[in-house]
Amino acid sequence: MAYVSQELRKRVILQPICIRYRLNEKSMHRLLEKLKKDHLNMVKILNLLSLQLDQFFAGEESDFDLKIELLEYLEVYAECEHHPLEDRLYEAAKVRMGGEHELFERLRSQHEVLGQLTKKFRYSLEYIMHDGVMPRDELETQGREFVALQRQHLSLEEQEAFPLLDQVMTPGDWEQVAAEASQHQDPVFDAPDRIRFQLLVDYLEPK
């Protein structure tokens, strides 16, 4: 793995996203707290992926196994746990708002697209790691667009969707979704899976 100083690691990986609207943290439901925590963790993942891509496209040493684990984490947790929870909340909020709501429909559509892009980019990295040939600029375009779209999606949810959920959903709505939600823990940040995500867990541990 390429060496990265602790100072640079902290500055790049732990950089938070900007949130335009503040929620009432005292009254925030635990599900919304969980989603916001997930977003902060995903930003760490995207920052680390960006750092690895910068090194690779600059011709420096770069860890393909680590990059693939980053994408697998997004597939395993973001696509299978985090996004389905958000979709359930968006459906509950739409009922309170009289049915269709363009913002929530757009976010659900983005979840599907991001899932496809995650798999596509992981397949591309695995192809190259196993001696496949792909133009560097094509891979870079895939990587940069993937990270940019992920960040835009998180920002839209933080700035618009989450405050709207907080406004329109009742305590009963939150509890109903909570009762139906998966109880699986984050396999990197909450209950580290050192078999499947050994490189990623080791990299993120404080040194």
Nearest to 147 by CA among 22, 32, 17: 17
Per-residue confidence (pLDDT) for residue 100, from 0 to 100: 67
- Whole-prediction pTM: 0.85
Return the pLDDT at 22: 52
Asked if residue 90 lies in contact with residue 107, where contact means CB atoms within 8 angstroms, the answer is: yes
pLDDT at 207: 65
> Cβ(47)–Cβ(15) under 8 Å?
yes
Write down the pLDDT at residue 23.
53
Amino acid identity at 73: Y
One digit per residue, the tens of pLDDT, for the chain of length 207 reads 333 444 444 433 444 444 344 555 556 899 999 999 999 999 999 999 999 999 888 888 788 999 999 999 999 999 999 999 999 999 999 998 876 689 999 999 999 999 999 999 999 999 988 888 888 889 889 999 999 999 999 999 999 999 999 999 999 999 999 999 888 899 999 999 999 999 999 999 876
Residue-level pLDDT at 15: 45
pLDDT at residue 19, as a whole number: 39
pLDDT at 3: 39
pLDDT at residue 8, rounded to an integer: 41
Asked if 181 contacts 85 with a C-beta cutoff of 8 angstroms, the reply is: yes
**100 dihedral zone (left: phi>0; alpha: psi -120 to 50; beta):** beta
3-state SS of the chain is CCCCCHHHHHHHHCCCCCCCCCCCCCCCCHHHHHHHHHHHHHHHHHHHHHHHHHHHHCCCCCCHHHHHHHHHHHHHHHHHHHHHHHHHHHHHHHHHCCCCCHHHHHHHHHHHHHHHHHHHHHHHHHHHHCCCCCCHHHHHHHHHHHHHHHHHHHHHHHHHHHHHHHHHCCHHHHHHHHHHCCCCCCCCCCCCCCCCCHHHHHHHCCC
